[in-house]
Amino acid sequence: MTEKTKSSDRTSRHPSRRDFMRTLVMVSGFVGASLMGLVPVVKGWVKRLRPPGALLEKDFLASCIKCGQCVQVCPVEAIKVADLVDGVGIGVPYIDPRQQACDFSCDGLQCVLACPTGALTHHINYPHAARMAVARIEHPDGCLARRGLGFKGQARGATFEGKLRYEEIDRWTPIPIRDHPYDLEVCDLCVRQCPIEIRIAQCEAGAPPAGDPNQCPPEPAIRLVETGEVDGRKTFTPEILSGCVGCGVCEMICPVEPAVIVMDEAGRGVLS
């Protein structure tokens, strides 16, 4: 073993000019490769939805240590770790709300508590204080309520894996949306499943989450507004209100393709 290595190991000799030039190339190569990762960060290619409590995008990218502890604690596994092609810093967490939104079913903002660097700031304590994005009505024509239609069945089909916590079923365990079919006269899924609206309703009923009145959101996030009548059916349109935190549940639950509501202004962040 030892004899074999003799010929190829020459690290102990003095560095030559050739070594030096070679080293210059290597150092430039490594630095160049690392700067490639900066291109999407600078350009902000794809604005990704960040976990609740995320600082403004620039501060968030600076402070994230890329450990994924937020990923590990999320009960609905909404948070993913970005890869090279995800247009943002490698190893940085993001949420793809159409696939799995943050439904705040942990109540206590577990990802914020898990974050070791404050990239998800500890300054927020309640879901309604998060500012992940703002919901925006992107494809109004697809909306069932605007056509006065109801919805019956599995909101996202039989194969969709996204989960929600339905408190009336199990307070502690989120279940797949496909296991919770709906039968609605007028489709109001975006309002019905909005985590902020659910909390407001609980507070109005005198039963705030965890018995803590601080959990009560100060402002509503979304409502259905009556717009008129079509073929004798009342029509409605969803309206996004100032209490929207951009969690993405409305985008996830929307049963039409493409989703009527999308998350906008992702990365608007919480001020540090």
Partner 1 sequence: MKALIESLAVMLGREPRRPAPEDISAPAQKIHEFKAATRDRDLSLHLKEERKKRASAPQTWRRRRWAVLIFVNLLFVFSYRLDIQLLEGALTGSRFVGFHMADLNAALQVMLAFKTLLINLLIGIITVFTLWWMLGGRTFCSWVCPYHLLSELADKLHLKLAEKKLVRNHTFDRRGRTWLWLIFAVLAFGTGYTVYETISPTGILSRALIYGPSLALVWVLALLVFEVVYSRRAWCRYGCPIGLTYGLVGIISPLQVKHTLDKCFFDGACRQVCLVPHVLNCTVKGRGRKVTATTGADCTRCGRCIDVCPTGALSFTFKGMGKSK
Nearby residues of 153 by Cβ (< 8 Å), 6 or more positions away: 181, 182
Q: Which of 53, 76, 89, 177 binds partner 1 (CB under 8 A)?
A: 89
Quote the CA–CA distance of 257 and 101 in Å, as a whole number: 16
Judged by CB under 8 A, the chain residues 11 through 30 that form the site for partner 1 are 11-15, 19-20, 22-23, 26-27, 30
The CB-of-99 to partner 1 minimum distance in angstroms stands at 15
Q: Which of 56, 67, 134, 149 binds partner 1 (CB under 8 A)?
A: 67
Would you say 65 or 169 has its CB closer to partner 1? 65
The CB-of-55 to partner 1 minimum distance in angstroms stands at 9
Coil, helix or strand at residue 250: helix
* Cα 183 off chain centre by: 27
The amino acid occupying position 161 is: E
Quote the CA–CA distance of 99 and 148 in Å, as a whole number: 26
* Cα 186 off chain centre by: 27
- Across 86-105, b (16+ Cβ under 10 Å) vs e yields bbbbeebbbbbbbbbbbbbb
Would you say 113 or 241 has its CB closer to partner 1? 113
Q: Does 117 bind partner 1 (CB under 8 A)?
A: yes
Cα 165 to Cα 82, 111, 173, 257, distances in angstroms: 25, 17, 6, 23
Binding mask 37-66 for partner 1 (x = CB under 8 A): xx--x----------------xx-xxxxxx
Would you say 12 or 159 has its CB closer to partner 1? 12
Q: Which of 83, 161, 229, 257 binds partner 1 (CB under 8 A)?
A: 83
Going 142 to 146 to 147 to 151, the CA torsion angle's sign is: positive
Q: Does 69 bind partner 1 (CB under 8 A)?
A: yes
Quote the CA–CA distance of 35 and 102 in Å, as a whole number: 32
Q: Does 8 bind partner 1 (CB under 8 A)?
A: yes
Q: Does 84 bind partner 1 (CB under 8 A)?
A: yes
The CB-of-25 to partner 1 minimum distance in angstroms stands at 9
Residue 151, CA atoms < 13 Å, CB-side half-sphere = 23
The CB-of-134 to partner 1 minimum distance in angstroms stands at 25
Would you say 29 or 228 has its CB closer to partner 1? 29
The CB-of-13 to partner 1 minimum distance in angstroms stands at 8
Enumerate the H helices of the chain as residue ranges: 2-6, 17-36, 38-43, 57-63, 69-73, 110-114, 189-192, 195-204, 249-253
Q: Which positions lie near partner 1, rule CB under 8 A? A: 1-2, 4-15, 19-20, 22-23, 26-27, 30-31, 33-38, 41, 58-59, 61-69, 71-73, 81, 83-85, 89-91, 114-118, 272
